[in-house]
Amino acid sequence: MAVQAALELVSVTKRYGATVAVDAIDLKIPAGTYCCLLGPSGCGKTSTLRMIAGHESVSDGDIVLGATNVTLLPPAKRGTAMMFQSYALFPHLSVLDNVAFALKMSGVDKPTRHAKAMDLLKLVAMDGYAGRLPTQLSGGQQQRVALARALITEPQMLLLDEPLSALDPFLRVKMRAELKRLQRELGITFIHVTHGQEEAMALADLVVLMNGGKIEQQGSPREVFNAPRSEFVAKFIGGHNVITTSTGKVAVRADHAKLFRSGTVWDGQSISAEVTDVEYQGTYVQITMRGSDGGDLVAQISEADFDSQPVTPGENVLFGWNPATAHPLS
């Protein structure tokens, strides 16, 4: 494969008329990193990916790949490859010829390009389907072919635009593991756009959470989850309660929350609440409440703890937490 290269975005901005989709972001992605651009619809993550790929022009700022400023280079000259959400396979070409297509356009002879395409189909466990047409494949199989096709040019960086969104939940988890395995084996940088928190947590070395065209927070999945900087991060990443105390807002993890009968005295902090829903989730029981301040609260407790003190919707309880486990928000 190609030599590894780091990526740096320097004050990168994208405007569509009067609308600022990406607002002067700075980002460094080390070589060989699996980076997930995460955020809600309209946050700027896909525009950022498309600017890195060269499919969208940069309004202001620079994109530097390795030692090369690629801001004005066409996609084919950047050392990147993009796998589109739709996979965009050619319906009239066989799987083998789909994968080999970029080499054909570069003038590589048929035996050479087919041999290389077969090597990549073996890498994604699709060599047995080389003669089939895309319409004869499942969604997961089409995705593997699209991956092989993107990798045949030996890119320094693979860009993935919500690659798992079209798959059913079981296959999504399976393909998640495949993507991570491929990235480790190839050793190149993957930049993966998703709005799925669980997907980003499972895959990324570096999570970049975007909101309103800006980077709200970046770091490893554990850093972002355990130390959210803002109310937006705590709520979007999930698994947290945002509670207003006398000293400010704090994030309390749902699995760190305590539940007590109303009137119980304990030495931590607490807020009175009314149970609105109880859901059995297998490894834990999730209890949703409405706090006395009107905010929604969630506690995840063990099945044994729930069985020892079950609660039902409509019941008044005390939602408690240890102040040492609460994370202050800016």
Which string of DSSP letters, residue by residue, matches 263-300?
Answer: T---SSEEEEEEEEEEEE-SSSEEEEEEETTS-EEEEE
User: Tokens standing for 290?
Assistant: 């409405």
User: Is the domain covering 239-328 a CATH 2.40.50.100 domain?
Assistant: yes
* Lowest model confidence (mean pLDDT) among 14-18, 137-141, 263-267, 313-317: 263-267
Q: Do 7-226 and 239-328 show the same overall fold?
A: no
Closest CA to 161 of 284, 51, 20: 51
Beta carbons of 114 and 108 less than 8 angstroms apart: no
pLDDT of 257 over the 90 cut:
yes
DSSP 8-class letter at 121: H
DSSP 8-class letter at 134: G
User: Tokens standing for 32?
Assistant: 């060989």
Residue type, 169: P
Cβ count near 266 (within 10 Å): 11
Confidence grade of residue 60 (pLDDT, cut at 50, 70, 90): very high
Sequence spans of domains, the chain: 7-226, 239-328
Q: For residue range 215-247, list pLDDT tens digits in order.
A: 999 999 999 999 999 999 999 999 999 998 888
Furthest-apart CA atoms within the chain: distance in Å: 80
Cβ count near 12 (within 10 Å): 24
Burial of 7 (0-12, 13-18, 19+ CB in 10 A): buried
Task: Map residue 171 onto helix, strand or coil.
Answer: helix
Q: Give the torsion through C-alpha atoms of 158, 202, 229, 58, to 10 deg.
A: 10
* Lowest model confidence (mean pLDDT) among 67-81, 99-113, 129-143, 259-273: 259-273
CATH of 7-226, one of 3.30.70.100, 3.40.50.300, 3.30.70.1060, 3.40.50.1110: 3.40.50.300
Cβ count near 181 (within 10 Å): 11
Residue 203 host element (H or E): helix 197-203
pLDDT of 1 over the 50 cut:
no
* CA triple 289-295-297, angle to 5 deg: 35
What local confidence, expressed as pLDDT, does residue 3 receive? 57
- Give phi and psi for 181, each to the nearest 5: -60, -45
What mean pLDDT is reported for the chain? 92
- The whole-number average pLDDT for the span 276-288 is 95
Which of residues 92 and 168 earns the better pLDDT score? Answer: 92
- The whole-number average pLDDT for the span 148-164 is 91
296-301 and 248-253 strand pairing: unpaired
189-194 and 34-38 strand pairing: parallel
- The whole-number average pLDDT for the span 71-86 is 89
Q: Which residues does residue 239 pair with via DSSP β-bridges, in sequence order? A: none
DSSP 8-class letter at 6: -
What local confidence, expressed as pLDDT, does residue 175 receive? 85
Cβ count near 293 (within 10 Å): 11
